[in-house]
């Protein structure tokens, strides 16, 4: 039932499209302001503070909305929204309390961690980023929005755009890798996918960009740990993806847990106001992360009253879970520590978000049981997810073209991840029904049909240490131990393997070995699985390692000893099918790494766009005394950024420049011809890098500036053209001015960041 107040909001956010940019949006923006002004005039201070409160969903997840503790708070106008409640019925019941039993009948916003799909689960973000395909990435977010919005959700805590260069950090799985340029393109694509063109139809949801900021640079890769870096590095290497998401019109941002320059991000005026609002002109609202305000007590920033005031003063609008705002802001106001204007500004931004989502027009806009029944986990969505998953896989090695496997071959599928559904969707798949995910075994059998000759054996535990295995098997993703010993598991595997034509070893990490609070100090495949792999190799049969991981692993030994390695990340609900599609060659792999794979954990952080140092190691050298290197390992990664093989072979011609000088206001083009020298149609990501040879600050040895994913039929050649303008050469100098400096540049084009063709030009 709509109240008269709700009927005031007759203007959908469609009229507010790109409110910051188009003049046509101005009247709609003015109408939103009039509406929110009128509403806020009626609101008491307590009701305004109530809007800033985002409690945990507590007993509502299982109980009755109206009689719950949170239900009582909602009735008292103390709740602005809730998150991670699943189903239309539950969400509708809670919304009913808000719009029928509160004084002002203000609807609530409903959030969820829809990180890489809803019930139809796509690859973990790190995997998805390896598609380097913005259409595919946007589409995955669109389908996620379609399903989530059909099931009552209107706000997602995604995209996670934290640049991460330390694979010890488990949350590297949730982001888009190490590079600011690729990360920025993906951030914008995700926002477009969730939010649509800004009109917020009822199948769009509002994005919440996280974790602002620099969360991925946690010291020692330990989650929630301190980050500390120069502003030049922040502006050039870590902030761009958040900015790209803000520029794409993201409706909200989430503050990160870490400190930045000695102040927790949640309390950082520099981040929340100076950069986000003043420099970038961000118009959405900012929510803390889970108890982010309260955690500032442990950071040593004061008691709850003090840190809550600090957060509001910094520019935070909404308090997730901790209720610091709810319980202390009034007192801080009386003491003059904060102002009414600050509370009003925060409240206004949250009401505006609800307005944009059309919730004042129809609070049940996203609560349609029919849609929920029809639009979630559909065959069509699953089909797309399967195709997308296959594109995220990265073929790391394929010696002697072991892959693709002939469909007539008899296959021994071995490994703790071979017949496991729960781990396929990967970390942060809150809405997934694991029983509906496809295991590798099911995938292989389904693709092979009745001719299938696949036998399975577990072969080893995930890890010999059962306590580790428990920690790595949270949230219903545990690995059952059936009482058999390590030796019994191995014997069974070897006996099956010896009778097969090909061994497919499904090994690596479990889904929860990456993700939040899943940092590792050892980034290799667990030892017991390695021992299994060695035993499988000893059979003399061809071995294909199907590698599950949520982070770059140290694969030196595997790269030297295993003939074929297909990195499948965690491919989502359709992972098993997609893996089979690629193993049998129905899909030619085309994924390219968005993070560098080190030789060992000691090289970390290792990333392609590093600085040169004053004592760079000579080209092709392993070690030189008094040069920047290690005694015990070369500087090279096992697999560089941008790397990934295909069943096709791609040959790159030399690069041609339209001119070797570039003037302000003009552009030059770089062209290269790529030929598919094989009998298989394939896709290739053609990558463009530059190097600024002399700068007012030191510049990286390579920076990604463009890429194009092309399709080449067997034997086909295509000319790929990139246009370079002065803008592409800009960076933040030591005064944090975004400038391009005249001088010498190098330009590189290739199929990864290491194997490139090079030319030179001058910026005049």
Q: Of 142 and 266, which has the nearer Cβ to ligand BGC?
A: 266
* 86 touches ligand BGC by CB under 6 A: no
Q: Is 179 a catalytic residue?
A: no
Tell me the closest approach of the beta carbon of residue 406 to ligand BGC, in angstroms. 44
Per DSSP, the three-state class of 411 is: strand
Structure tokens, 593: 């790494």
The 8-class DSSP code of residue 417 comes to T
The binding track of 178-217 with respect to ligand BGC, each residue x by CB under 6 A or -, is --------------------------------x-------
Side-chain half-sphere CA neighbours of 94 within 13 A: 32
With beta carbons less than 8 A apart as the criterion, state whether 180 and 236 touch: yes
DSSP codes of every residue in 48-85: HHHHTEE---GGGTTS-TTTSHHHHHHHTT--SEEES-
Q: Of 171 and 477, which has the nearer Cβ to ligand BGC?
A: 171
Structure tokens, 757: 């063709």
CA separation for the pair 745, 761 (Å, rounded): 5
**Cα–chain-centroid distance for residue 256?**
15
* Cis-peptide, bond into residue 404, ω within 30° of zero: yes
Residue 570, exposed/middle/buried by CB under 10 A (0-12, 13-18, 19+)?
A: buried
With beta carbons less than 8 A apart as the criterion, state whether 185 and 244 touch: yes
CA separation for the pair 758, 735 (Å, rounded): 31
With beta carbons less than 8 A apart as the criterion, state whether 432 and 447 touch: no
Q: Of 211 and 386, which has the nearer Cβ to ligand BGC?
A: 211
Q: Of 85 and 143, which has the nearer Cβ to ligand BGC?
A: 85
Residue 413 host element (H or E) = strand 411-414
- Closest residue to ligand BGC, judged by C-beta, is 157
CA separation for the pair 641, 752 (Å, rounded): 6
Return the residue of 113, 147, 162, 295 that touches ligand BGC, per CB under 6 A: 113
The binding track of 145-164 with respect to ligand BGC, each residue x by CB under 6 A or -, is ------------x-------
The binding track of 493-522 with respect to ligand BGC, each residue x by CB under 6 A or -, is -----------------------x------
Structure tokens, 498: 């010896």
Per DSSP, the three-state class of 547 is: strand
CA separation for the pair 743, 504 (Å, rounded): 52
Residues 281-320 that bind ligand BGC (CB under 6 A): 289-290
- Taking alpha carbons only, the member of 225, 200, 110 closest to residue 157 is 110
Q: Which of 113, 133, 179, 289 is catalytic?
A: 289
Distances (CA, A) of 240 to 212, 263, 296: 11, 21, 26
With beta carbons less than 8 A apart as the criterion, state whether 286 and 251 touch: no
CA separation for the pair 233, 216 (Å, rounded): 13
Q: Which residues are catalytic?
A: 289
What residue ranges bind ligand BGC (CB under 6 A)? 84, 113, 157, 210, 289-290, 516
């Amino acid at each position: 039932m709509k109240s008269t107040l709700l009927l005031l909001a007759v203007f959908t956010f469609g009229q507010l499209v790109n409110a910051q940019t188009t003049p046509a949006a101005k009247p709609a923006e003015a109408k939103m302001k009039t509406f929110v002004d009128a509403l806020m005039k009626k609101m008491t201070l307590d009701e305004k503070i109530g809007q800033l409160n985002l409690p945990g969903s507590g007993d509502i997840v299982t109980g009755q909305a109206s009689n719950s503790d949170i239900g009582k708070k909602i009735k008292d106008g103390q709740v602005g929204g809730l998150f991670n409640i699943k189903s239309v019925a539950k969400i509708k019941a809670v919304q009913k309390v808000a719009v029928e039993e509160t004084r002002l009948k203000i609807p609530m916003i409903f959030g969820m961690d829809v990180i890489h799909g809803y019930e139809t689960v796509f690859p973990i973000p790190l995997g998805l980023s390896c598609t380097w395909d913005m259409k595919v990435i946007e589409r995955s977010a669109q389908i996620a929005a379609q399903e989530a919005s059909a099931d009552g959700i209107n706000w997602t805590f995604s995209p996670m755009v934290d640049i991460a260069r330390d694979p010890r950090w488990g949350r590297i799985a949730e982001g888009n890798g190490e590079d600011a340029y690729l990360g920025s393109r993906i951030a914008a694509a995700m926002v477009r996918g969730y939010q649509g063109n800004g009109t917020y139809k009822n199948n769009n949801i509002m994005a919440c960009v996280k974790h602002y900021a620099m969360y991925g640079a946690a010291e020692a890769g330990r989650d929630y740990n301190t980050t500390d870096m120069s502003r030049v590095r922040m502006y050039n290497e870590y902030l761009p993806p958040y900015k790209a998401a803000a520029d794409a019109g993201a409706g909200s941002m989430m503050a990160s847990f870490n400190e930045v320059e000695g102040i927790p991000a949640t309390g950082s005026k520099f981040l929340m106001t100076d950069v986000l609002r003043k420099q970038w002109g961000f118009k959405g609202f900012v929510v803390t992360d889970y108890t982010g305000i309260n955690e500032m007590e442990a950071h040593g920033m004061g008691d709850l009253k003090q840190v809550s005031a600090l957060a509001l003063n910094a520019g935070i609008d909404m308090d997730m879970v901790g209720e610091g705002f709810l319980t202390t802001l009034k007192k801080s106001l009386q003491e003059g520590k904060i102002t009414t204007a600050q509370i009003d500004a925060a409240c206004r931004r949250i009401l505006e978000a609800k307005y944009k989502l059309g919730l004042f027009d129809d609070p049940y806009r996203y609560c349609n049981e029919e849609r929920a029944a029809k639009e979630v986990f559909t065959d069509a969505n699953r089909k797309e997810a399967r195709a997308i998953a296959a594109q995220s896989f990265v073929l790391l090695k394929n010696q002697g073209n072991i892959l693709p496997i002939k469909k007539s071959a008899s296959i021994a599928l071995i490994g703790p991840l071979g017949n496991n559904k729960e781990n396929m969707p990967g970390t942060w798949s809150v809405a997934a029904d694991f029983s509906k995910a496809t295991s590798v075994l099911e995938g292989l059998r389904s693709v092979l049909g009745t001719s299938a000759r696949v036998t399975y054996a577990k072969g080893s535990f995930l890890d010999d240490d059962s306590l580790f295995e428990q920690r790595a098997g949270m949230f219903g993703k545990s690995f059952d131990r059936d009482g058999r010993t390590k030796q019994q598991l191995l014997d069974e595997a070897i006996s099956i393997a010896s009778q097969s034509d090909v061994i497919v070893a499904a090994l690596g990490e479990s889904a929860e070995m990456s993700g939040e609070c899943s940092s590792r100090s050892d980034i290799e495949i667990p030892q017991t699985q390695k021992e299994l792999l060695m035993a499988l190799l000893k059979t003399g049969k061809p071995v294909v390692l199907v590698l599950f991981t949520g982070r770059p692993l140290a694969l030196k030994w595997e790269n030297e000893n295993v003939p074929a390695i297909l990195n499948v990340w965690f491919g989502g609900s359709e992972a098993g099918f997609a893996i089979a599609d690629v193993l049998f060659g129905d899909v030619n792999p085309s994924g390219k790494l968005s993070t560098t794979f080190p030789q060992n954990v000691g090289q970390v952080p290792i990333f392609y766009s590093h600085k040169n140092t004053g004592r760079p190691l000579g080209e092709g050298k392993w070690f030189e005394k008094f040069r920047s290197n290690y005694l015990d390992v070369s500087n090279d990664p096992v697999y560089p950024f941008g790397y990934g093989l295909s069943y096709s072979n791609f040959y790159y011609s030399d690069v041609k420049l339209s001119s070797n000088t570039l003037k302000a206001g003009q552009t030059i083009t770089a062209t290269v011809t790529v030929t598919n020298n094989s009998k298989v149609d394939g896709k290739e990501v053609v990558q463009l890098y530059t190097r600024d040879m002399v700068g007012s600050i030191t510049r990286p040895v390579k920076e990604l500036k463009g890429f194009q994913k092309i399709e080449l039929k067997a034997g086909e050649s295509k000319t790929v053209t990139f246009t370079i303008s002065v803008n592409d050469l800009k960076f933040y100098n030591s005064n944090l001015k975004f400038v391009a400096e005249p001088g010498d540049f190098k330009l590189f084009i290739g199929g990864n960041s290491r194997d490139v063709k090079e030319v030179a030009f001058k910026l005049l």
